[in-house]
Chains A and B, each alone.
Chain A
Amino acid sequence: MNATAKMTEVHSVLPLLAVGLPFVFAALVALVGERAPAIRNGLALLATLVVFPIMAWMLPQVLAGHTTFVYTINVLTTIRLAVLPLGVAVGAMAALLWIFTMVYSFGYMEHEHAHTRYYTCLVAVLGTAMGILCSADLLTFFVFYELLSLFVYPLVVHEETTAAMDAGKTYLVYLLCGEAAVLAGVIIVTGLANGSSALVPGGLLAGTTVSPAKIALLSVPFIAGYGVKGAIMPEHGWLPGAMIAPTPVSAVLHAVAVVKVGVYGIMIYLYMILGYRLATMAGIDVVLPWIASATIIISSLIAIRQDDIKRRLAYSTIGNLGYIVLGAALLSPWSLKGGVLHIFMHSFMKIVLFFCAGIIITRGHKKNFSECAGLAKRMPVTAACFTVGAVGMIGLPPVCGWISKWVLLQGTFASGQWIFGLVILFSAFLNMGYYLPPIFTFYFGDGEKGANEHAPAERQGLEAPLTMLAPTSIIAVACVILGLWPYGPYWVADAVVRAIY
């Protein structure tokens, strides 16, 4: 494990395309607007279909061929794009899931308002996410990080109800404060590293002689800042509220892109700015794992008490982000690998759960788990997909969650921190406590209570249209396949760790 495996830099337009094209498409989507909804939707889908192949094409070359694709733009400040190991992996996954989300949105948004704004923002957010994941230094990272928050805001307040506006306000306050903290950190790093804030596999500051105390101090704004998006407790307050957004947004942003970008920020800070040696000296692995563990346990305890479908999923997301941060914070190759792997596995499973939640909410008109008795009879596919996701979240084979839990456990044991293995085990018990009861309700609940039992219009056609059902079930099947044959994600996680540890 050394980070000196030299990366070859290749100047290429590809990162620019991955980041820039979504913005171009977003503009087109906005231009076409309500005049031709079909073309507008097609353009939105096309954007995702273009970005994913670019990321997927670069992925093996970055990971196996040790090539970095670099592109530099000089505007105001220098925007440097570079496709680095961890970023390309998370980026490719996010772009892939974006395709599914876009298709799902077509079905979900049918009866909603403000389509053009919705699609424009969703495509633009893809661009900002790619920008974050393809940035070569902290400053570029920061620019896109800020943009991401802004483009997500219209999506959060989409419904424009009072509750949505309030949630939006909370969202902005939390995220902007977090970003201010990050900016402070970026400035200090730039000072320490003589004007550079580049992300270097192995650590930008690794060679410097900064005292551990200073590093520890520097880590506070970074961890606290990125921790807002990564929903580390007690900075998670915005996430359950932001669930008021349309479900596809919750799925792709608050299970995949936004929150994962937060933990991605923590990872690059620890491994590409500090490097694990410096991080160890600063005592990150003494403090941060405990914060992550507290997040894992407390969020699970709260999740058990949530009846609202999306809120329970939100707290589960907070707990799972805790796993990822725990993996990163233990500063050992295996734990990092577990964390990276959990980014993938959790995204796949959680997006299935959110898609199911969306179907239940729009089609079944149910907001809470307790109202879903006997749902499986009316929505067999949705219930089955939810079951797959839920079983996976507990960490049971053959759904993919158990693979990342295995590696995370391995990481805690290998670094001698047995106690965190117990945290993961205990948390799995808690997961069982809030993921199994809904399944019982779906399958064995006492049928539909209330009047709509006899309303024929309510009873038929409850299962969602194909645009929603297909993405959900395809990813659910993928979850099972990955649980038995984790070839791709494992290889990627392994290569990432080799490159940046």
Chain B
Amino acid sequence: MKKKMIFSEFFRNNGLGMGSLLIALVGFWLIFLIVLPQLSMLDYSFRFNLPPAEQGGPKDFYTLSNYEHLLYGSDQTHQTYNSVDLMVFVRTIIAAMLVTLFNIVLCYPLAYFLGQSKGSGFVRLLVVLLIIPYWINEILRAFALRIIFGESGLLNEALMFMHLIREPIDFIRQDIALYAGLGYAYILLMLFPMYNVIESLDRNQIEAARDMGASWIQIHRRIVIPHAKPGIVSGATMVFMLTAGALAAPQILGGPSSLWFTQLVYQWFNDSLNWQQGAAYAIVLLASTIVIVLTVMRIFKVNMGDIGK
């Protein structure tokens, strides 16, 4: 009953034509591009990978086998765990968290500096310099790091030239290049939300605290960080989700023996052509990252509405 009233009000405000156009566009987006695709992927993940002829037949019933494969591998008796895939999963999540922390630590001082020194030409130049790498393709940025970290790359040559090392270090095989690349890829998505909230902080608050004798650390802990919290959490959420779901950087910078969880999904889809298995892995990735993000938001008491500001 109430809903009807809202709708009638909506159409009264917008007219029948405009109102239905708005509803149609939003409805198409939410239903056909977001909700139904996710649901059909969920449905897919509970099915067997059958040839087209057997689909809808007696063999086509719901199963947990795709999820069991992640836990136990191809072992039907469930005696041994699928340690390879599980390790990849755990590594992906933990590495994404570490990359996020690294980005927070690296960006906070710069966001504070940019946010609190208003309007000078130097700061404007810095902001322009920050925006430039943001528009360079993700793949090209990974490629740039590969040039630097390669076996005969710039970093190895420089270190050997300075006699710090005698033999080239294999940064790619040791995953140093991968972590540097992941940290590099989304750093600006951390910086800009932080910068926006710190910019809105009244400088008088900091000065008042300083006049009252607060130390440098106290100012940050009691004033700046609580104020910047929504920005920090928003940036951290985006960086964490994007890092955990990154595909280009691991494909280009990852060592031959180490995989990222998205690469497993990619392999199920494109190499093994087992969409059902790939969908199950994708669901696991989506669900676990969402749970982690919601937990962190609950711990730091930040609302969904703060994201994207």
Whether both chains belong to one complex is answered with: no
Interface positions of B (Cβ within 8 A of A): none
Interface positions of A (Cβ within 8 A of B): none
